[in-house]
Structure formats: C-alpha cells, structure tokens
C-alpha cells in the first residue's frame, strides 16, 4: 500500500511539473532544451492556433511555430500576448514606402492595419509560415536569421525603423524564406497582403521601390555568402564591415547602429570572442572606433585591402 501510494505521488509530481513547464513556455509547447547564440529559445513545440484579426483563417506568420517536419523546427520563441492595436493614418503616412500615396489610400490601409509589440529575442516572422502581411518596423531593431544544417545560427540582414520586411512572401505568395527576430523591443505594423498587392499595380513607384530593395538585399546576401567562404576571421570581419559602412555628409565613414560583437559573430559564422579580438586589433591600429551605437571607420582602405586579400593582417583566434 505504501509503495503504491509513493508511486502515485511520484506520478502526480511529474504531471504537475509538466504542467508548470507547459505554462512557462506557452500553450501546446514541450520542454525547453537550450538557447541559440543570441538567446532565442530553442526547443520542440507544437503549432499554436492563430487568433490575430489580420491572419484569421490562415497560418500565422507572427508568434506561431513552424511545421514540425522542418530541419530547423527546434527554433522557438516567447509567445507575447496576441494584442493587435489600431494604427493611426498619421503614423502610416510617415513610412517611407507609403509616403507618396494618396491620403485616402493611406487611411484605408491604416483602417485594416494592426500594430503589435515584440519583446527582445521574440520571433516576428516564422520561416515557412504564410506571408499574410507586409510588415513595417516603427521602433526597435530586427534581424533576419536562418540556421545551417548543423544548427548554427546565421544572421542575414537587419531591419531598422521605417524599413519594411516580409515583402518576398507578399510578392510571390510563398512562405517566408527566413526567420525575423527582435534584436530589441520592437513595434511592428502588419498590413494585409490583399491590400498591398493592388497598390503595386496602381502605383508603379511603390513597385519600383520594392524591386530596388529586393535587388539590394540579393546583393547583400551574395556578399554574405562570399564572406562565409573566407578562412581568416579577420578578413571576414573586415569584409562584413565593408558591406555595412557608408560615407557620411560630414566627410567621415560610419557604420550606423553598428551590430554588437555577438550579432556580428552570427553573421560571419565566428565566435563572439573571436570578433572581440579582431576589434581589439582594429582599434589598436586606429582602423575603427566606437562612438555610442555607431562605429567610425577611420581607415576604410585598410578594411577594403584586408577584405580583398591585398593585405595579410596578423591572425587572431579561430572561427
């Protein structure tokens, strides 16, 4: 009798522990396994039904898990509350892509758009999910990421306030090709795809901007693939900074909103410690200097020479 009672109590404790774990990670989820390099939660989970007014009736692209049969199905995130707020037309009219549209068109978009706040490290768009909306970032910062076949996280591009994303899925109607995660607390506006597509035909300027943006991103990703093939981590860091810096009107060369060492590390497939050592070398040589959130490039020719293989700096660490 005592043994049976002990087994029953043990089973009850296990059941309670499982319930607490499900409550901790969200409805329909299983236990946590680990965190990715940037702190994104990694664990297996089941799909969570979408309750958003924007994507009702379709698979959610924000705040929902992807199909279990994908190789990267272990990517997870903290589910924020599904609270979608209305968006004033005055806010929509300030977005660069929509700035030239007639006021009546912007007002119509605002009436059907919704705003949502995402916590740091939360997934905004899910790879493989339906691209039901064109998204605009109001505040914060986002990053497009994917995973290699061995599970390593790779950063692809950043999304800054005023930028839009999710455009590839809106144009071709296919699922999202990569994850988009919040680097910091972010406010995102979702505009239904069914409202955006007619604008592309009625307003060629908007279509041209979208095409130009896609071409630029394609060039960036092509450059990213070239960087990942470089063996020397110093060369990879210099090549990545070369892709990101731009001349400023004051005559200097800057990387605005420069990525952290960790963010840069996942972009070039290196460790954070290696990137830190490379920056220490570049700063000691007077090549770069931090200024708040920005990075001043004092010797852009050095970065370009190292990136092109014309100069062989001292090796530091391993990728």
For residues 137 and 261, state if they share a domain.
no
pLDDT confidence band for 130 (50 / 70 / 90): very high
Longest distance between any two alpha carbons in the chain, whole Å: 84
Summary mean pLDDT of the chain: 79
Does residue 224 belong to any structural domain of this protein? Answer: no
Q: Is the pLDDT of residue 146 over 60?
A: yes
Give pLDDT, residue 149: 87
Q: Are residues 268 and 297 in the same domain?
A: yes
Q: What pairs with residue 191 in β-bridges?
A: 134
* 317 domain residue, yes or no: no
Q: Which domain holds residue 9?
A: 1-31
Task: CATH number of the domain at 155, please.
Answer: 2.60.120.10
CA–CA separation, 162 vs 227, rounded Å? 28
Asked, for residue 313, whether it belongs to a domain, the answer is no
Same domain, residue pair 171 and 100: yes
First to last CA, the chain: 60
What average pLDDT does the segment 129-136 reach?
Answer: 95
- Arithmetic mean of pLDDT, 240-252: 83
Q: Could you give the CA distance from residue 190 to residue 144 in angstroms, rounded to a whole number?
A: 17
In a domain, 102, yes or no: yes
**Among the three residues 174, 197, 217, which one is the final residue of a domain in this structure?**
217
Same domain? For 17 and 37 the reply is no
Of these ranges, 104-108, 147-151, 248-252, 291-295, the one predicted with the greatest mean pLDDT is 104-108
Give yes or no: residues 42 and 27 share one domain. Answer: no
Residue 319 domain-assigned (yes or no): no
Query: Is there a single domain that holds both residue 192 and residue 243?
Result: no
| Residue 204, pLDDT score | 94
Q: State pLDDT tens for residues 23-48.
A: 443 333 333 444 555 555 443 333 33
User: Which pTM was predicted?
Assistant: 0.70
Residues 297 and 213 in one domain: no
289 belongs to a structural domain:
yes
What percentage of the chain carries pLDDT values higher than 90? 59
Residues 38 and 112 in one domain: yes
Same domain, 55 and 157: yes
Residue 268 sits in the same domain as residue 166: no
Give the pLDDT score at 277: 96
Considering only 4-13, 248-257, 258-267, which range has the smallest mean pLDDT?
4-13
């Amino acid at each position: 009798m005592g043994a049976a009672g002990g087994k029953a109590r043990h089973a009850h404790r296990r059941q309670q522990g499982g319930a607490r774990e499900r409550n901790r990670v969200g409805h329909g989820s299983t236990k946590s396994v680990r965190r990715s390099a940037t702190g994104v939660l990694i664990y297996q989970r089941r799909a969570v039904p979408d309750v958003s007014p924007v994507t009702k009736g379709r698979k959610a692209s924000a705040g929902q898990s992807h199909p279990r049969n994908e190789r990267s199905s272990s990517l997870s995130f903290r589910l924020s509350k599904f609270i979608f707020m209305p968006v004033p037309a005055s806010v929509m009219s300030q977005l660069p892509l929509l700035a030239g549209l007639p006021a009546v068109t912007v007002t119509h978009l605002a009436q059907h758009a919704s705003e949502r706040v995402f916590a740091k490290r939360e997934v905004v768009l899910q790879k493989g999910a339906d691209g039901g909306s064109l998204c605009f970032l109001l505040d914060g910062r986002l990053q497009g990421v994917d995973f290699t076949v061995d599970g390593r996280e790779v950063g692809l591009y950043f999304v800054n306030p005023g930028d839009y994303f999710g455009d590839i899925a809106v144009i071709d109607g296919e699922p999202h090709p990569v994850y988009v995660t919040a680097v910091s607390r972010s406010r995102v506006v979702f505009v239904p795809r069914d409202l955006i597509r007619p604008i592309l035909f009625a307003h060629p300027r908007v279509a041209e901007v979208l095409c130009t943006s896609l071409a630029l991103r394609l060039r960036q990703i092509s450059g990213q693939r070239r960087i990942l093939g470089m063996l020397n981590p110093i060369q990879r860091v210099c090549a990545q900074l070369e892709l990101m810096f731009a001349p400023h009107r004051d005559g200097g060369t800057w990387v605005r909103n420069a990525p952290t060492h960790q963010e840069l590390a996942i972009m070039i497939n290196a460790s954070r410690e290696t990137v830190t050592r490379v920056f220490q070398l570049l700063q000691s040589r007077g090549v770069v200097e931090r200024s708040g959130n920005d990075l001043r490039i004092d010797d852009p020719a050095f970065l370009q020479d190292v990136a092109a293989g014309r100069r062989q700096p001292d090796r530091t660490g391993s990728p």
